Chain A
Amino acid sequence: GAVVSQHPSWVICKSGTSVKIECRSLDFQATTMFWYRQFPKQSLMLMATSNEGSKATYEQGVEKDKFLINHASLTLSTLTVTSAHPEDSSFYICSANLPSGGSSDTQYFGPGTRLTVL
């Protein structure tokens, strides 16, 4: 149980185009999902918290107009990188919160999406 998928697993796009990444919780409902970014040889950095039916909460320094997040259902969140540039090339990873009561919720992660912007 607690499987999270991402699509696509990798994408190559031209500078200036937009790219949409999907994150799905396959066997549970997630009211909260998270989006992370990971550059080579670095740790994961939280970009935003996505709550079903409401606006995402972005971390400091993350441009909300560039990284559009939609969490339209309890099993799907999307991240759209708008007007992508080479510096946006990174490994994007989503996670979904599996509620277990109180503050011990566990996050289950997707396999990640490798974005390369030419």
Chain B
Amino acid sequence: DAKTTQPNSMESNEEEPVHLPCNHSTISGTDYIHWYRQLPSQGPEYVIHGLTSNVNNRMASLAIAEDRKSSTLILHRATLRDAAVYYCILSSYGKLTFGQGTILTVHP
């Protein structure tokens, strides 16, 4: 499985934008870029996914580099409820391999 690299942790202030980076230099042509987040003692929550074009939904935006070797999850206005572990995962035909993710701390 293609591997992703994310910072171990990031911090943000409430109501400020947050940009969570992810490197995936070995991505293949059929790999989709998925983002999930997990709160303590809960199952992961789907955030967003994309293939080549930037994507927006009600939760976040996903910016994908032109060469697809990196991507950025954008939370436009962080809230305290956005504090979680964020996982960037490459998926081809359904299977997900979770890395360590980025622990996002949001300060009031």
Instruction: Pull 27 A–B residue pairs with CB atoms less than 8 Å apart, ordered by A.
Output: A6-B43, A32-B94, A36-B98, A43-B98, A43-B99, A44-B38, A44-B98, A93-B44, A94-B43, A95-B43, A95-B44, A95-B96, A97-B94, A103-B30, A103-B92, A104-B49, A104-B51, A105-B93, A105-B94, A106-B34, A107-B46, A107-B94, A108-B46, A109-B36, A112-B42, A112-B43, A114-B41
Q: Interface of B with A (CB < 8 Å)? A: 30, 32, 34, 36, 38, 41-46, 49, 51, 87, 91-101
8 A Cβ contacts from A29-85 to B: 32, 34, 36, 43-46, 49
A95-B43, A112-B43 known; A46 and B97 CB under 8 Å?
yes
Residues of B within 8 A of A36 (CB): 98
Bound-state CA distance A111–B45 (Å) is: 9
Closest residue of chain A to B85 (Cβ to Cβ) is: A43
Bound-state CA distance A66–B36 (Å) is: 29
Q: Please tell me if the beta carbons of B94 and A111 are within 8 angstroms of each other in the complex.
A: no
Give 12 new A-B contacts, CB below 8 A, not counting A91-B41, A103-B92, A114-B41. Answer: A32-B94, A43-B98, A46-B97, A93-B43, A93-B44, A97-B94, A103-B91, A103-B93, A105-B93, A105-B94, A109-B44, A112-B41
Q: Please tell me if the beta carbons of B101 and A43 are within 8 angstroms of each other in the complex.
A: yes
Interchain residue pairs A-B with the least CB separation, the first 8: A109-B43, A44-B98, A43-B98, A103-B93, A105-B94, A109-B44, A93-B43, A112-B43
Bound-state CA distance A43–B4 (Å) is: 14
**A-B contact count, CB below 8 Å?**
60
Residues of B within 8 A of A34 (CB): 95-96
Residues of B within 8 A of A46 (CB): 95-98
CB distance from A109 to the nearest CB of B (A): 4
Q: Please tell me if the beta carbons of B30 and A49 are within 8 angstroms of each other in the complex.
A: no
Q: Please tell me if the beta carbons of A110 and B43 are within 8 angstroms of each other in the complex.
A: yes
